[in-house]
Amino acid sequence: MIDFTEIKDGDRFEDLVFELLSKKKQVKNLQRTGKGTDLGADLIFDLEVEDSDLSISNTYKVIVECKHYAKSNKNITKGDIQIYDSLTNHN
């Protein structure tokens, strides 16, 4: 069991999320976006989803925005997620 309050800061939390995702076989092309004008995106990857019964597979682009609020007892809201507004207000 992970005690998230023991994770030092947001960068270490992002490292943990990256490591966990990298171990999943469905996750391909996992990348860190780096610091800067990424609209809050921290990680990007392709998720391969297969349905063996139907013999089909799809690949989805996934954007991850890591938030580490365990020590603050703060809940994440839509306002905290920068990329949410960018994606939902895209015309």
Please classify residue 70 by burial: count the beta carbons closer than 10 Å to its beta carbon, then call 0-12 exposed, 13-18 middle and 19+ buried: middle
Q: Which residues contact 7 (CB under 8 A, 6 or more apart)?
A: 13, 16, 68, 70
| CA distance readout (Å), 69 to 6, 35, 51, 75 | 12, 19, 36, 7
Supply the pLDDT for residue 56. 87
Q: What is the pTM of this model?
A: 0.74
Question: Which tokens belong to 42?
Answer: 């921290």
pLDDT averaged per 10 residues in sequence order, the chain, 91 residues:
83 92 96 74 92 86 86 75 54 45
